[in-house]
Amino acid sequence: DTFQSCFASPLAPAAPKRTSLAPGSTKYQARPELYGAYSTVDDVKGKAQKLSSEAAKEFEKASAAAQAKAGRIELYSGRYYAACTFGGLMACGLTHFAVTPLDLVKTRRQIDSKLYTGNFQAWGKIFRGEGVRGIFTGWSPTLFGYSAQGAFKYGWYEFFKKQYSDIAGPENAQKYKTVLYLTASASAEFLADLALCPFEAVKVRMQGGIPSPYSGTLDGIRTIAAKEGMSGLYKGLYPLWGRQIPYTMMKFASFETIVEMIYDRLPGQKSDYSKGAQTGVSFAGGYLAGILCAIVSHPADVMVSK
């Protein structure tokens, strides 16, 4: 023992003391005496993020209060989703109804490309054989089907856009906004097509048959369900998804991007322009987006008709 004590070092280092980390702290903040600079930076960063989050919440509250005071609908409120749903119902139902004569010729030419040589020749031939009503064959399933589809699509799009933005966080939602638009629109269209498919099945058979095999929408649904079961109304669901989901993804993503590009090239902010001017920008964005949608969805559209 005496011999060992002669060589024992009085300066032997003590075992390092472990410091438990406080919740939310980093390893630098746990040892400020060793990592002073890092500890300070982390502390400042944490406080800045907290202030940013609080500021965003206060801004949302102030914005909602201002909109309520001005009589406007609060963003992402129940009234907002209801307005989007109703707007989608009116927009899709009425526009698809208005172009029924074009859709009729398109469907018949997709089934038999030799049937007509062009739109005007087709309308003349249909008018002589079936009258004015013949030109609007399929209008009722078109109106009801796309009204339901538009309501689901626009309502769910805004819902999913909000949900996915919250999951991603403000910074990532802004950074990957195009991906956000694509994901939200695909999710919305997936559900919307469940409402559209039975009406689309009736419409295609009404327009493809000469003369039409059904007297109207309800007659078509009853006849198909009686002969083929309810599954007969959803036979074309997969091709419909193949047409509509890429169509809607392109529509919403390109529309939002085109509108942003237009405002970026105009002087001032969007709020500086009148409602009429903003409607004009939206119309231009929608027109250009529609061209892109038609290109993307046309191959699957042929499958739906056949």
Least confident of 89-98, 100-109, 170-179: 170-179
Residue 21 confidence class, pLDDT cut points 50, 70, 90 = low
Question: Rounded to an integer, what distance in angstroms lies between the CA atom of residue 283 and that of residue 289?
Answer: 10
Residues 6+ apart with CB under 8 A from 300: 239, 242, 243, 246
Judged by DSSP in three states, 231 sits in helix
Question: Rounded to an integer, what distance in angstroms lies between the CA atom of residue 187 and that of residue 60?
Answer: 26
Residue 24 confidence class, pLDDT cut points 50, 70, 90 = low
Q: Are residues 105 and 99 in contact, defined by beta-carbon separation less than 8 angstroms?
A: no
- Give the pLDDT score at 34: 54
125 versus 11: which is more confidently predicted?
A: 125
What is the residue-averaged pLDDT of the chain?
Answer: 85
Tokens of 166: 């919250």
Provide the H-helix boundaries in 8-99.
27-30, 36-69, 78-98
- Give the pLDDT score at 7: 45
Question: Rounded to an integer, what distance in angstroms lies between the CA atom of residue 61 and that of residue 81?
Answer: 18
Length of the chain: 306
> What is the rounded radius of gyration, in angstroms, for the C-alpha atoms of the chain?
31
Tokens of 138: 């399929």
Residue 152 confidence class, pLDDT cut points 50, 70, 90 = very high
Give the DSSP H/E element, type plus range, for residue 254: helix 237-265
172 versus 47: which is more confidently predicted?
A: 172
- Give the pLDDT score at 256: 87
- Give the pLDDT score at 200: 97
- Give the pLDDT score at 270: 86
- Give the pLDDT score at 45: 64
Q: Are residues 156 and 193 in contact, defined by beta-carbon separation less than 8 angstroms?
A: no
Residue 36 confidence class, pLDDT cut points 50, 70, 90 = low
Rounded percentage of the chain residues whose pLDDT exceeds 90:
67
- Give the pLDDT score at 214: 96
Asked whether residue 61 carries a pLDDT value surpassing 70, the answer given is no
- Give the pLDDT score at 6: 47
**What is the CA angle 203-205-210, rounded to 5?**
115
Asked whether residue 40 carries a pLDDT value surpassing 90, the answer given is no
Least confident of 43-47, 81-85, 170-174: 43-47
Question: Rounded to an integer, what distance in angstroms lies between the CA atom of residue 53 and that of residue 233?
Answer: 49
Least confident of 63-77, 131-145, 223-237, 270-284: 63-77
- Give the pLDDT score at 100: 98
Residue 32 confidence class, pLDDT cut points 50, 70, 90 = low
Q: Are residues 155 and 88 in contact, defined by beta-carbon separation less than 8 angstroms?
A: yes
Q: Are residues 67 and 74 in contact, defined by beta-carbon separation less than 8 angstroms?
A: yes
In the DSSP assignment, the letter for residue 286 is H
Write out pLDDT tens, residues 158-208: 999 999 999 999 999 999 999 999 999 999 999 999 999 999 999 999 999
pTM of this structure: 0.73
Phi first, then psi: give them for residue 176, nearest 5 degrees: -115, 45
104 burial type by CB count under 10 A (0-12 exposed, 13-18 middle, 19+ buried): buried
Q: Are residues 219 and 227 in contact, defined by beta-carbon separation less than 8 angstroms?
A: no
Domains and CATH numbers, the chain: 77-305 (1.50.40.10)
Asked whether residue 18 carries a pLDDT value surpassing 90, the answer given is no
Q: Stretch 233-239: mean pLDDT, rounded?
A: 95
Q: Are residues 259 and 285 in contact, defined by beta-carbon separation less than 8 angstroms?
A: yes
Torsion angle in degrees (nearest 10) through CA of 149, 150, 154, 159: -30
- Give the pLDDT score at 23: 56
Q: Are residues 92 and 149 in contact, defined by beta-carbon separation less than 8 angstroms?
A: yes
- Give the pLDDT score at 268: 84
57 burial type by CB count under 10 A (0-12 exposed, 13-18 middle, 19+ buried): exposed
Write out pLDDT tens, residues 247-274: 999 998 899 899 999 999 999 888 888 8
- Identity of residue 225: A
Q: Are residues 177 and 123 in contact, defined by beta-carbon separation less than 8 angstroms?
A: no
